[in-house]
Amino acid sequence: MFHGTGQYYFADTGKIYKGEFEENQPCGMGEMTWPDMSKYVGEFKDGMMHGMGEKRYANGNVHNGQWFDDKAHGPGTLTTANTTVEGSWVNGKLDKGNDKKHFKTPGEQSMMYRDAMRSNLTKKYSKL
């Protein structure tokens, strides 16, 4: 039985976990790496991402925030090559209420979401 700190290779999925274990499950602080080189660093509970953490996806996207049962859930920030979204997630999906989306383009633009519809409440443009 795994209990304490260690490393485990999941042969069925190819994932590698390094960190704390409790009763054979990742629990506490740890790091999970997937075969595509996506990586999560943060808190685990019962073998799942749960609590504060950062997941770096193979495509370069980064989600930093709260996790619940392996899904983004609660306040967080998702950064992609072109945008940064600050807001709250529910079961892995953006809860579109008072969330901000910032575009990384030659001009800077901020948008807020309300009631699942995009509304240009704030726009800022500046030259780089």
The CA distance from 31 to 56, in Å, is 11
Question: Which range, 64-68, 89-93, 123-127, is most confident?
Answer: 64-68
The residue-averaged pLDDT of 42-62 equals: 97
At 60 the three-state DSSP class reads coil
Per-residue confidence (pLDDT) for residue 40, from 0 to 100 = 98
The CA-atom distances, in angstroms, between 122 and each of 10, 62, 78, 85, 90 are 46, 24, 19, 14, 24
Tell me the pLDDT band of 96, cut-offs 50, 70 and 90: confident
What's the whole-model pTM score?
0.79
Cα torsion 64, 90, 85, 65 to 10°: value is: -10
Spell out the domains of the chain, with CATH numbers in brackets: 4-119 (2.20.110)
